[in-house]
Amino acid sequence: MGKREIPEINAGSMADIAFLLLVFFLVTTTINVPEKGVKTVVPKKVEKNDDDQIIKVKVLPRDILKIKANARNQLLIEGEVYEPEEADIIYDMVIKFYDSHTRARGLSEDDIDGDGKTDFPVRWEVTTDTIKQEVEKWKEQLNSALSYDMEPDFFQFMVDRWEDKQMVLDEIGTYYELPDAASIKFETDDETTYGFYLKVLDIIQAAKSKVLNDFCESTWGLKYEDMKFGNSEGGIPNEEKYKKELKIVEMLYPPAKIIDYADKIEDVNY
């Protein structure tokens, strides 16, 4: 039986076919880059309840950094008018808002007004004594709430909060906290252009991230972004690893201090 030889297949056109496919993919595709932008969250609908606990805090005019933008993109900050091109001024103001003045507890309002009036929030020193007092006070209220069958959530929250402050004090030593009422309010007109709105948000965000980075670098020698979003060896997210540190940052620079009026949508109709 003679073995019949199989003729070799001509592969010369293979290259042409492959080239054709290659060109097709080159033309129709883009390289997968992550989508970049400013992330926000749509506010949750809140049902108003009459018997909700309301925390009353003392608000001083200096505690609030009010930024208003009108329909012509002009800014009104702390009573002064700025043109749209001057928006960068917000950067320094936000930094001052977070890190301007520190005072020891026990000083009166007159003392502050005496040695230089300020337009920015004054940070108060947190002392072990005050923490002890407050923890005891709230624990007492928590217990009485439990014995009267009241909702204990609020009191538990206050106890935890003051205990967290003790934790921060133990970790970093003497520290100064922002008053509860301190906040940045960014108010916009409905006719303010979207581009300008995002520009102001961006400046506020950039200033805030500089403040956080400076604090984290001087305290732990790390960048805030790396601690919050990075991954360490073994693929463990840093957010787990630096849980305590991030908690401290959160206590010193509370995240909910920026109030964006574009989120005030309760009465909006579309």
Q: What does the binding site for another protein look like in residue numbers (CB under 8 A)?
A: 11-12, 14-15, 18-19, 21-22, 25-26, 28-32, 34-45, 188-195, 197-199, 202-203, 205-206, 209, 262-265, 268-270
- What is the SS3 assignment for 181? coil
Phi and psi at 82, nearest 5°, equal -125, 145
The CB-of-86 to another protein minimum distance in angstroms stands at 17
The CB-of-135 to another protein minimum distance in angstroms stands at 35
Asked if residues 127 and 175 have their Cβ atoms less than 8 Å apart, the reply is no
The number of angstroms, rounded, from the C-alpha of 49 to the middle of its chain's C-alpha atoms is 27
| Token pair recorded at residue 50 | 């009459």
The CB-of-122 to another protein minimum distance in angstroms stands at 27
Specify the residue, 183 or 192, whose C-beta has the smaller distance to another protein: 192
Specify the residue, 94 or 182, whose C-beta has the smaller distance to another protein: 94
Specify the residue, 167 or 206, whose C-beta has the smaller distance to another protein: 206
Task: Encode 113-145: b = buried (16+ Cβ within 10 Å), e = exposed.
Answer: eeeeeeebbbbbbbeeeebeebbeebbebbeeb
The CB-of-71 to another protein minimum distance in angstroms stands at 8
Phi and psi at 136, nearest 5°, equal -60, -45
Specify the residue, 19 or 157, whose C-beta has the smaller distance to another protein: 19
Asked if residues 194 and 73 have their Cβ atoms less than 8 Å apart, the reply is no
Specify the residue, 36 or 117, whose C-beta has the smaller distance to another protein: 36
Give the CA dihedral 38, 71, 89, 219, nearest 10 degrees.
Answer: -30
The CB-of-14 to another protein minimum distance in angstroms stands at 4
